[in-house]
Each structure stands twice: as structure tokens, then as C-alpha cells.
Structure 1
Amino acid sequence: MVELKNIRVVYNKSHTNEKQALDGLDLTIKKGEFVTIIGPNGAGKTTLLKILTGEVYPEEGEYILNNKNIRHTKPYKLFRNVGIVYQEPDRGVFPDLTIEENLILGSKKGNRLFSFGKYKGLELLKSLNMGLEDRLKTKVKELSGGQKQALSMILAAITYPDLLLLDEHTAALDPKNVDKVMDLTLKINNEMGITIIMVTHNMKIVEKYSKRIVEIKEGKVTKDFLYERPLSQIGSEKIKATL
């Protein structure tokens, strides 16, 4: 599904402030996986996301998505296949439009039939238990931060992208809305089968929701392992395998 092979990125090359952002990074993600990326500030997490969206081209290495090498593919061409939700809720919605208008515009992404996407969006709205399905004529700017972020998630997912990137998407939310947005995240992954890569610094989220954890330090993958949470041991985590 996603393969990054020996990815190297250097910022400000040949200058005094030259920085190696990614240093031979290798990462393979299967279709339908939910992968959590962790690591300290400056580790290369943001650069990794920019590689995946086409905003940054690697100096070396290959980026393969669905068996196609797209190392130098323009961002607008990846727009149909790769969705992203940012930390700031307003970045993923149209604040001056209504919820319904947002669903219609979001469902047209990639020139796909908007009717299907719109109704899938309504289904996801109902699953949130926020009452948003009864407020379709409400302008998005009137919603809370948590409601906007949930809508951003829906808009990014309703056209079934091959890959959904989450860049600290719960960082600006209160604890109650964090759980709602994370429950929606798991629903999109489990029920829609969308491959998700989530970057977060919130270790409570990592412990509670992660399935596979990848740690990045100094531009390289330093740890990569799976969590298994037995239903009979609620709240416990067990390392299933180290890859």
C-alpha cells in the first residue's frame, strides 16, 4: 500500500543551517492499517507527512503508493488519493458555509459522485452523537472546535481516499471531544477500511487507541511494534510483536 524506501530530505542544503530532516527512512504500511507516529520535536514527523502529501520531494529514495512510484508527483494530483486533517479545526472546513454545503463540496473531491459521499457523511455525522445531523443548515463557523474537527475528519474520509493523514488532529480539543474524534477515527479505519497514519504527542491517545506504533528519531525509524488489547483485559496493553 505505502512504501517509503531510503527516504532522505535535507533542508537548506549547502548552507550553514543545513539540516538532515529524514535520513534513510524506511517504512511499509499495509492497506487498512492504523499507524501512530511518535517522536520528539524535530525528529522528522512533519517532513514525513509532507513527503506523503507531495509537498516535499525527497533528495533520495522512493515513495510508492498502490504499487506506483510517485516520488515527484504534484500535490494536486495526490489530492484525490491522500487526505489530511490538521491540528487547527478551521483548516479542514469551509467556515462560512453550512454543514450540508461542506458535505456536498467535500464529497465532490476527486470528481466522484457527490451523492454517495454526502450520504456517507450524514451517516458518520449521526454516529458522532453530537446532533449535527439535525443542524445541516447551520454555518460551520458557529460550531465548537470539537464539532469542526469531527466534520473535518468526515470531509477527509467520505470519498474513501487511499490514505488519511492525521497531523496532531486532537491537540486543540478538550478531553471529551478528543474521545469523540478518536472514536470517529477508529470507525473510519475499521468500518471504511481507510489506511490511517496519525502523528501525535499525546501519550494517552497512543496508549488508548494505537494499533501499531512507529517511533522516529533523527530522521529514522527507531521502533516499530504492534499493540494487542484483549477484550478481557480492558485498559491493558501487550506488545504483540516487534517488527
Structure 2
Amino acid sequence: MVELKNIRVVYNKNQVNEKKALDKFELSIKKGEFVTIIGPNGAGKTTLLKVLTGEVALDQGSFTLNNKSIKRIKPYKLFRNVGIVYQEPDRGVFPDLTLEENLILGSKKGNRFFSFGKYEGLELLKSLNMGLENRLKTKVKEFSGGQKQALAMVLASITKPDLLLLDEHTAALDPKNVEKVMELTMKINKELGLTIIMVTHNMKIVEKYSSRIVEIKDGKVTKDFVYEKTHNTEELKKVTAN
């Protein structure tokens, strides 16, 4: 589904401050997987996300999505097929528009006809018990950070993209809203079947929700393992201790 082979991305090429953000990077992800990316600051996690959204060009290697080279996917189609939720809740919503208007705009991302009565995103919001389904005419700027981020998650997944990227999407939330947003994350993965790549520094989230963990250091994959909570917690401790 996602294939990254021998990826190299170099910033400030041929300058004194040249830096290899990704170097001989390899990663393969199957459809429907939920992969957690961890690693120290500067490891290459942000660059990886920018590669996956087409924001950063490759200096070397290949990136295929559904067996199609990224070079052959037009930018607007990549935008339709790859959703992303950022750390800052306001980046994923339209604060000056109502909740209903946000849902309508989100549904148009993939040029799909908007059918409000059958809209799956509204059902996802209802399942959170935040009461958002009763505030359709409220401007989103009046919502809390957790409510905005829940909406951002829905807007990013409404068109069922091939790949959903989560860039520290719970970092700005309080513990209660972290739980709510992670519940929604798991629901989107399991019930909608979306392939998800989550970048996080929150090891409590990693331990509680992750199934496959990939560690990146110095632009390379240094660990890649399936995390079975009842069997290999020691493996996770080794990763987090480094």
C-alpha cells in the first residue's frame, strides 16, 4: 500500500549546514495498518510526513502509494488521497465557519456528493459524547481544543483517504481530550479501515494504543516491531530508554 525504498532527503545541499534528513530510509505499510512513528527531535519524523504529503521532493529513492509512483500522481489527487491532522487544532478546521459548514467543505475535498442525512462523520462525532451533533450552527472558533481536534480528525477522514497522517495530534490536548481523540482515532482505523501513520512523543499513547511501532533515528529506521502489550513491553522499554 505504502512503499518507501532507499529514500534520501537532503536539506541545504552543498552548503556548510547540509543535513541528511532521511538517508537510505525504508518502510512498507499494508492497507489498514496503524503504524506509530517515534524517535527523538531531528530524527526525520517531520520530513517523513512531508514526503508522504508530497511537500518535500526526494533526492533519491522511490515512494509508491497503492502501487503507483508518487511522481505519477497529480498534486490535487495526492491531496485527495492523503489526509493529515496537525498538532494545532486550528490548522485542521475552519474556525470562522459553523460546524455544519466545516462538514460540507470537508466532504467536498474528494469531489463527492454531500449527503448530510447519511454522513458518516456526524455519526463519528455523536459517538464521542461531546454534544457536537447539537451544535451544527455554532462557529467552530467557540469550541474547545479537544472538540476542534475531534472535528479535524473527521474532516481529514470524511473522504476516506488512502492514508491518514497524524502529526502529534494529541500534544496540545488535556488528558481527558487525549482519550476522546484517541478513541476516535481507533474507531476511524477499525471501522473505516483507514491506513494510519501516527507520529507522537507521548509514550503513554504508544503503550496503550499502538500495534506496530517504528523508531527513527538519524533519518533511518532503527526499530520496527509489532507491539503485543502482554508479551513485549520489555522491547518497548528498550526503545524508549535510548
TM-score category (smaller protein): over 0.9
The equivalent of 1:22 in structure 2 is 22
Measure how far apart 1:237 and its partner are: 4.6
Quote the sequence identity (%): 81
1:177 corresponds in structure 2 to 177
| Residue 50 (str. 1) matches residue 47 (str. 2) | no
| 1:217-242, Cα deviation, whole Å (9 max, x unpaired) | 00000000011246xx9xx9586xxx
CA distance in 1, matches of 2:51, 2:118: 29
Q: Is the CA contact (8 Å cut-off) linking 2:25 and 2:219 kept in structure 1?
A: yes
Name the SS of the counterpart of 1:10 in structure 2: strand
Amino acid across the alignment from 1:154: V
Structure 2: how far apart are the matches of 1:145 and 1:211?
Answer: 27
Per-residue CA deviation, residues 130-154 of structure 1 (Å, 9 max, x unaligned), is 0000111110000000000000000
Specify the SS of the correspondent of 2:126: helix
* 1:124-139 equivalent positions in 2, closer than 5 A: 124-139=124-139
The answer for the alignment partner of 1:12 in structure 2 is 12
Whole-angstrom distance in 1 between the partners of 2:150 and 2:222 = 32
| Partner in structure 2 of residue 153 of structure 1 | 153
Whichever residue aligns with residue 153 of structure 2, its letter is M
Aligned to 1:78: 78
The Cα of 1:118 is off from its aligned counterpart by 6.7
Q: Which amino acid counterpart does residue 121 of structure 2 have in structure 1? A: G
27-36 or 62-71, larger mean C-alpha shift: 62-71
Equivalent residues of 2:207, 2:229 under 8 A apart: no
Q: Could you tell me how far apart the structure 1 residues matched to 2:7 and 2:117 are?
A: 34
> Residues 176 and 182 from structure 1, CA distance in 2 versus in 1: closer, same or farther, beyond 3 angstroms?
same
Change in Cα spacing, 1:72 to 1:20, as seen in structure 2 (3 Å) is: farther
Name the amino acid aligned to 1:228. E
Spell out, residue by residue over 1:104-133, the C-alpha distance to the aligned partner (whole angstroms, 9 max, x if none). 110111211221697111101101110000
Aligned-residue offset at 1:73: 4.5
Look up the match of 1:191.
Answer: 191
Runs of 4 or more off by more than 6 Å in structure 1? none
CA RMSD of aligned residues (A): 1.8
State the 1:74 CA deviation.
Answer: 5.3
Displacement of 1:72: 6.7
Distance 1:185 1:207, change over 3 A: same
| Cα distance in 2 for residues equivalent to 1:215 and 1:167 | 15
Is 1:90 matched up with 2:78? no
Provide the rounded CA distance (Å) in 2 between the counterparts of 1:238 and 1:129: 35
Distance 1:21 1:72 in 2: 24
Deviation at 1:77, TM superposition (A): 3.0
Unaligned 5+ segments in structure 2 are: 236-242
Q: 1:149 to 1:118 in 2, by over 3 A?
A: farther
**Alpha-carbon separation, structure 1, partners of 2:42 and 2:71:** 22
Matched, 1:35 2:32: no
Cα distance in structure 1, aligned partners of 2:6 and 2:165? 21
Hey, what's the Cα distance between the residues in 2 that align with 1:194 and 1:46? 21
Aligned to 2:100: 100
Which amino acid is 1:132 matched to? L
